Structure 1
Amino acid sequence: MNIKLIDPTSGGPVQSEAVVWGMRKPTVDILVRPETPEIGIVHDDPEEAFYRDLLEIIRYGVSHSVAVENIQMEIKSRRHASVIPMEEIGIYVMQVVLDGPSQPVNSPQELLNYVKTTITHLVQVFVNLINEDEQEIELINAIETVAIGNRMVSHIFQHILYHLYDKDIISQESILSWHGIEPLNYEMKKRTSLRKSIDTIVEWLQNADTDSSD
């Protein structure tokens, strides 16, 4: 949980520091509400605060090639300070990855390059967090939901799924199971279009499954 402090002398935000993997860096200051007295304290929404922390951890970790073990420790530490259920952390991590780098991307290909690089760096994080078939399907559902509202992500949806499969984060069985489930009524047209975009992958997986059983 982030706490923002107001310096009662200057009336401005107190400059605090956070330790990130042994390196000290300034945190982002957010002013407290005007009605807070002297040293005012504002508590963030836990989910939003955790997401912002995770965004910082992953962007910094990937851009600075931080060891994945240290990234895992930092995620675990922030999670313990939040109320987020452990089984949801993998989805949060995926959403952060799909948010892209801190600098704007100009094309789907540029976003895909970042997403693939980040997933590759975080393979062990995902493997530790996503370790059941149901979680894998929920992860695909989460990516689909992001793609519905994000045009760039929708353009690279099939490539993201294939990369997750290629890195053994999601299985062939989970992709086929998800593809066989009736799409949710919400944004049915877009969901149907997204599923159609991975028909080639699904067909390839089905053929591979048939060949292996012969």
Structure 2
Amino acid sequence: MTDPGAYPNPGPHPNPHEQPPRTKRRRWPWLVIGVPVLLFGACGVAVVSSVAGGNDTTVTTDPAGGEAAAAGAADADRGPDFPGKLDDDTAAAAGATITRDELAYTVSPLEAVDTVLGSYLCSAVTIDNVGTSQNDFNGYTDWSLQDAGGAIRDATFGPDRPMLNSGQIAPGGRATGSVCFDDRTGAAPGTYVVLFEDTFSLSTDRLAWINAL
């Protein structure tokens, strides 16, 4: 009779040199944290660049390019006063050109526009890119109107008008169109101010064009 203990166990034997399997490191938590940090940093650099670069402002009171005044210095003339004008505002009469951050804005006097959908006050806007970089523009979020009572209205869509809309302007390029404001209650006589403020900038400096209606 054969002794079963005389034969070795055919089952697998542990290798004394075999290393235990490595635990896989989870990489997705680092991706979840790292991607937003990188995006936030990039946005911060863009905003800081927007604030730091090209703060000089020039007002051309004659649309044909005659008389001009620089408003970049601390003691520079920032144009005529109007009700509600802030310290950092740069103002000019409607029809003038104000240049800032390598963009030249020309805003025509307000015009009453009556349509089947309602009444509006509109200005024709021309934006010239006088710099060497592409620039964005927005005909709605960047523009507002201060009425004779001091209320500030956001720009809206004006029917029967080619609107400024939004997009980019290449160096040396130009964008034109209208910015319109709701006037369903009628424009009471007084001072109306078309205001421009760059939405995607930390700067609170506004450009203003004064109208007398």
Between the two structures, name the one with larger relative contact order (CA 8 Å, sep ≥ 6). 2
TM over 0.5: no
Whose strand proportion is higher, 1 or 2? Answer: 2
TM-score normalised over the length of structure 2: 0.24
Whose helix proportion is higher, 1 or 2? Answer: 1
